Structure 1
Amino acid sequence: METGPAAHGIQFARGVLDVGEPMATPAIRQLKRWAIPTDGPEGSVVILDAPPGTSCPVVEAVRGADTLLLVTEPTPFGLHDLRLMVEVAAELGIPAGVVINRDGIGDAGVDEFCAAAGLPILLRIPFERAIAEGVAQGRTLVEIHPEYAPRFRALYQQLARQVKHHGRICR
């Protein structure tokens, strides 16, 4: 496990697997123990990022979460993974919201699914050449388009309200 400060005083940690190591789940458990100490302050905010899909590492990462932010794209593959992850969220009893990345490249399938499933679409990030080029250069969306900073703050506040509404806070 590697830890250290990131931008704006945020503490960051990541699990590192050596070549040939097959088990990501123990690394995820160790990260969660570091990030969510049982004797830590109640109400602490911990954001865990997980890979796409519904593999064992993904399920371990989201187990015990207060809410899920499911990032998808409006393609058949994105919709397929979103459907599976919504099933996992329902099975684990975790509320979720959706961010549509690369909005505008596909069809309306993701929008229709979200509407039918009662999933709120919390943010849309357009498919745009400047974003793709910037990300390829290692820049963040906020560095490319600073106007997204208040949108991300609003998204964070919306998620915090959702957690408060459901009475689930980080332990």
Structure 2
Amino acid sequence: MEENVDGTLTGVKTVDLGDGCKVTVEFEDGEDKSPLATIKDSIFPPVYAASNGEVMWKDYGNRYFTAKTTILSGIGGCICSLENHYTLSANGIDERYGDAYENAGFSIGIIGSVSHGNVFITDSTARTPGASDVNMYVRFNWQYSGGGILGAQGNTKLSSTVGYVAINKTAKQIKVKHSWSVS
């Protein structure tokens, strides 16, 4: 079998039956996606609020960075966001706190819910330009059912990072790198 660009494996085998006849058999192996997942992926790709890995100079003071993603559940979905509130100073970057929000909307006949847990700060200070960052994450729990679609539930982790790239103490600015991940 040979691997195709889309990740599927295909193969063809011809067998001589010995009586002047041949049989050709074709094989295909790939990821088994539910029809709902295929429709969801083609109509509603994930949406994020900011470019991942954007780098920019920011003035000292209190700042925030928001990452958003759309999680689809049945015919509808929810927007989940994580706000990373931090302070820039001559010392570097200090996390202050994080806020999480969600907004769900489902089609008629579909019921569902989404909620989030606590925001966890996993690294609260960045002191070394080019070698440190601050970060946090939150988990969103979701479920849906109805409308003739089998119910489902899941857990999505949204993380954000503010990297300490460089500092200009004369201009009182820090170059930061905003990034996020969803898992």
Taking structure 2 as the reference length, the TM-score comes to 0.23
Taking structure 1 as the reference length, the TM-score comes to 0.24
**Which structure carries more helix by proportion?**
1
**Which structure carries more strand by proportion?**
2
